[in-house]
Chain A
Amino acid sequence: MSSPKLNSGSSFKFPAIHDFPPLYTRQPTEATWQNQVKEWERIILAYYRTHRLYRLNLVEDTVPGASPVFDNQRIKRRLTFETLEEIVNEMVRKGTLGRKPICVAEWVSDTKSSAKISHTQALIYWRSPDEWASLLWNWINERGLNNSIMTVYEIANGELAEGTEFYEMDGTILMRALEVLSAKGNAQIFTGTGDVDSIGVKFFGS
């Protein structure tokens, strides 16, 4: 997990259920398991939001002592990689269900080991792409950045972005938000040959 920049001083208070020992054992009863997933989702989203984190590394984060979220040393219980994978799977699945699916997590496909999607890293959306998009769009209009072209890097790391909600945000998640704006006709994305950061975006008038 990358170190948080903003709100780094804010302390996170885990809900009481985080100290409930069976929360760390995969529950065999379906209804209980669904509730367990919901509780974990709530904890993960709240923690990630407070610390402004975007990526969950399943292997690293389930190593003993690595993360206060998944290794609760007070009650000596730890979530295993397998259970966390199942939980994230359920969270990802949620983004595909219902008429208005809520995107809370997305598997990151490892392009190097091109074979199948490896479930080792996930993007965590404590704001949905839609929410990020409207946040961005408001900012563009406030700052009068309409009709200007910016790179993805500039948007998230430029001087203008300092102090905003999306300052130093994850490039991939930012791209998802930009795609939402593009689909609405509010922006055009110029994909170059380089990496995500060098992709250019033109914002249109409001």
Chain B
Amino acid sequence: MSDTPILTIRNLHGKVADEDIEILHGVDLEIGRGEIHAIMGPNGSGKSTLAKTLSGHPGYEATDGEVIFEGEDLLEQEPDERSQSGLFLAFQYPVEIPGVSIANFLRTALQARLDEDEELDLFDFQDQLLSRMELLDMDPTFAERAVNDGFSGGEKKRNEILQMAMLQPKLALMDETDSGLDIDALQVVAHGVNALAKENPEMSFLIITHYQRLLNYIRPDHVHVMVGGRIVRSGGPEVAEELEASGYESFKPAAAG
């Protein structure tokens, strides 16, 4: 079981649903269990489109290729089905849901994973929530606030990590989770990812980022460079260092070809 990859992307083409311009021009990627992958790329390279297409955002559309997640065709699934089969997207811009507390939100999300006649044990839930918040150094009152409503950028990202910790996905997609964060918030995110990875060695991550700096705190096993809607280079952590030194210029399509 451990040998089969958790995610296999083959020749994925994709676009914004309302537009005709293709953004992903054939992405190939394989992620094994327990691996941490990073995709780096300049603005407009298609990184976020990839994350949104994988999680089933209605604004994006796969036009060709296939994505196998846990042996199933991922592209056929609704967003909630993808989540329930173990995929988690940490949003670049988490959405505000006024009037819905984080606790209520998480309870509902966990209840949705149970069979219809099964009730979530509220005491277990409460215990779990408190221990997860402790793991992430969070104030317990945080869970009583409405989801992302009036949150600072750092608080929103913290909330994403808490959800990840509670929902225990098999693969977490981190869509530019580091953008706009100060160093403290960045460390919170990194600390969360590392703690979860340590706790569950089978859990995989795909970290999408523009900058190298998050990778100073989370050490990826594999680094991919995405330019112009394709992965143009894959390698170990040294690729990120290379990028840091020379920038994306050398990977521009002409140079890459």
Do A and B share a complex?
A: no
Footprint of B on A, CB under 8 Å?
A: none
Footprint of A on B, CB under 8 Å?
A: none
